[in-house]
A and B are shown apart, each in its own frame.
Chain A
Amino acid sequence: MRDTYQQLGLAHCLSEVATSPNCGDALGVFRDRYGSWLALAGWLNFIPVLLGILVGAPLVARELEHGTQRLVWTQSVTRGRWLVVTLALVLGGCLVVAVALSLVLTWWLGPWDALNGRFGDAAFDFEAPVLGSYVAFAIVIGMAAGALLRRTVAAMVVTLAGFLAARLPVEFHFRAAYLPPLTRTFDFASPASRSAAGLSRADWVISEPIVDHAGHQVADQQVYRTCLSSFGATKDTFFHCVEAHGWLGSEVYQPAARYWTFQGIETAIFVALAVALLGLAAYWVRARLT
């Protein structure tokens, strides 16, 4: 990806925002070639939950299934200490894997992120802090499920379901709202006005509503009904119509500068979930299991 990025001169394109006529083509080539690779890389999002299923779920459940907890919990160390040390070893190993994966992917994705911003696509999810927190959460949910259910297979199923039940809503619903998004408006018809509004590729654009001068959103249907009503409306007449009604284009976005804040917030969410589940698992192992 880095080689192609250089060959196509895309760095040059970025620095002089689209002044060279070749840049549009070059961007197209680059996106075509690597878009599908990126979709493939998306599957790597399952690595944390796989670790949770394969490593976390059997941690306590397999002892209980094989009856070996009667051996290991009757040695001189208390079972609370056994749990902490076992978890620390397993979690340590898995975090090393996570960080290594993160470094490789972040390096590989570098050029793509330069074009599309790090908030987008794969970049955010593979950054070391959040990836580490996903792994910790997945391992602990597996361990807790194994302690409560006492069955490895059942614990594996619960791990998958529980992980997705937390991970998907956070990514697709809550992440965009960690901090109130900013809004900027621009003249709908003029590209110059659009670039003057200071749009950056690195920002995370959440939505692009049409607004009136007071900043209230105008429903798309209303815009289309008003300005596309007559047959033969051209792009120009459409823009003029929009302008005549005093409507503006806008972008609701999270600025690129908030990237690490957002990483911190998401990491904190999953670490907190992991700690809560660890507390539950520790209580269960110490007080309830036999």
Chain B
Amino acid sequence: MDTRDRAALEAAQLRRRYGRRWALRDCSFTLPAGRVAALVGPNGAGKTTLLHLAVGLLAPSGGNVRVFGDAPRERPRSVLPRIGFVAQDHPLYRGMTVEEHVILGRKLNPRWDGDLAARRLRRLGIPPEQRAGSLSGGQQAQVALALALAKRPELVLLDEPLASLDPLARREFLRALTLAVEEQGLTVVLSSHIVGDLERVCNYLIILSASQVRIAGEIADLLPEHAVFSGPSDGVAALDATHAVIDTMEGGPRTELLARGRGPAPAGWKSRPATLEEIVLAYLSQPEAARDALVEAGAQATSV
């Protein structure tokens, strides 16, 4: 089997519950190795829960998750060395210097690449003797990424790595990540609630909304499968017969909507290619997602 088509991360009916609230429900997808995947969804959609399940910080409430075929909670000794994980807000020991973090990494990881860590930090101009707590947010994120990459992982999981960074630090972080993907042949999952930055870096998309997976697939496949159609409002049924309408973007006598399907547009409809951002927004605002969110809110209200 081609190594590129090996599954790096697989979820099957994966569920996780906190008390009576479902943080993740019936999550199923397969991420082939070698992809850089964007895990996109609004805040509270379950992105952090999914990543914590993948790295074994959390145990599933049902279903299973596998990293290169192994369950992280059952076989941590084989899964942990293969994952480079940077948690949300890139946690570091505030009182420890950058160099001490590198030493800690060496002691906790048998496949540690000290040269790689030192080279990355030097290139970024981060002084090794400085305490982590006194670094800027962008530098902290870079140190956390350097530590994760020096493990020589095969799968890198980054939880909202861009959230606390300014635009310049964001660009530098993504540049460092892209370079590492090229050098080390990594599979990456990058969660975010911002789409714009990810388009240049990612080639795979997983959309998570209201604790469920809306769609997962190669961006190169998703883009031609979706289009923005504009036509008469009373002709929606005709379009619906050949295409799956995801979301109505604009109402009125002439309506604009995003639909999935490869066939030609019915008479009276014009179509244009959809951007990645339009596709993401359409899936996040589709009625099904809204309805589920309401059901969930109702369940929470009764459980209180």
Contacts and interface: CB of A to CB of B under 8 A. Distances in A.
Contact of B87 (A74, A77, A79, A82): A74
Interface stretch (B102-110, B209-217, B240-248, B278-286): B102-110
B295 interface: no
Contacts of B99: none
A24 interface: no
Contact of A74 (B57, B94, B111): B57
A234 B89 CA distance: 84
Contacts of B52: 70, 290
Nearest to A66: B91
Interface string B32-51: 00000000000000000000
A22 interface: no
Contact of A76 (B92, B144, B151): B151
Contact of B83 (A67, A74, A77): A74
Nearest to B80: A76
B156 to A, nearest CB: 11
Contacts of A77: 80, 108-109
A287 B81 CA distance: 19
Contact of A71 (B58, B59, B91): B91
A73 interface: yes
A237 interface: no
A79 B147 CA distance: 18
B85 interface: yes
A71 B111 CA distance: 17
B94 A290 contact: no
Interface in B65-84: 76-77, 80-81, 83
A76 B94 contact: no
B91 A76 contact: no
Nearest to A82: B108
B91 A68 contact: yes
Contacts of A76: 80-81, 108-111, 151
A76 B85 CA distance: 11
A86 to B, nearest CB: 11
A116 B32 CA distance: 77
B57 A73 contact: yes
Contacts of B91: 66-68, 70-71
Nearest to B93: A68
B55 interface: yes
A75 B59 contact: no
Interface in A4-36: none
Given A67-B89, A68-B93, A74 B55 contact: yes
Given A72-B108, A75-B80, A76-B80, A67 B59 contact: no
B24 to A, nearest CB: 13
Given A74-B80, A75-B109, A67 B87 contact: yes
Residue of A66, A71, A82, A290 ringed by the most chain B CB atoms within 10 A:
A71
A71 B91 CA distance: 6
A78 interface: yes
B57 A70 contact: yes
Contacts of B59: 287
B87 A70 contact: yes
A290 B17 CA distance: 13
Contacts of A69: 57
A74 B85 contact: yes
Contacts of A290: 52, 57-58
A78 B77 CA distance: 7
Contacts of B92: 68, 71
Contacts of B111: 76
A290 B23 CA distance: 14
A287 B59 CA distance: 8
Nearest to B87: A70
B141 to A, nearest CB: 13
Contacts of B104: 72
A73 B110 CA distance: 15
A154 to B, nearest CB: 21
Contacts of B58: 290
Given A68-B92, A72-B108, A78 B57 contact: no
Interface in B151-174: 151
A69 to B, nearest CB: 8
8 contacts: A66-B93, A70-B91, A74-B57, A74-B80, A75-B105, A75-B151, A77-B80, A290-B52
Interface of A: 66-79, 82, 287, 290
Interface of B: 52, 55-59, 76-77, 80-81, 83, 85, 87, 89, 91-94, 104-105, 108-111, 144, 147, 151
Considering the complex of A and B, which 9 residue pairs feature the smallest CB-CB distances, nearest first?
A70-B87, A75-B108, A76-B81, A74-B85, A76-B109, A67-B91, A78-B76, A71-B91, A68-B91
Given A74-B83, A75-B109, 11 more contacts: A66-B93, A68-B92, A68-B93, A70-B85, A70-B87, A70-B91, A71-B92, A74-B57, A75-B108, A77-B108, A78-B77
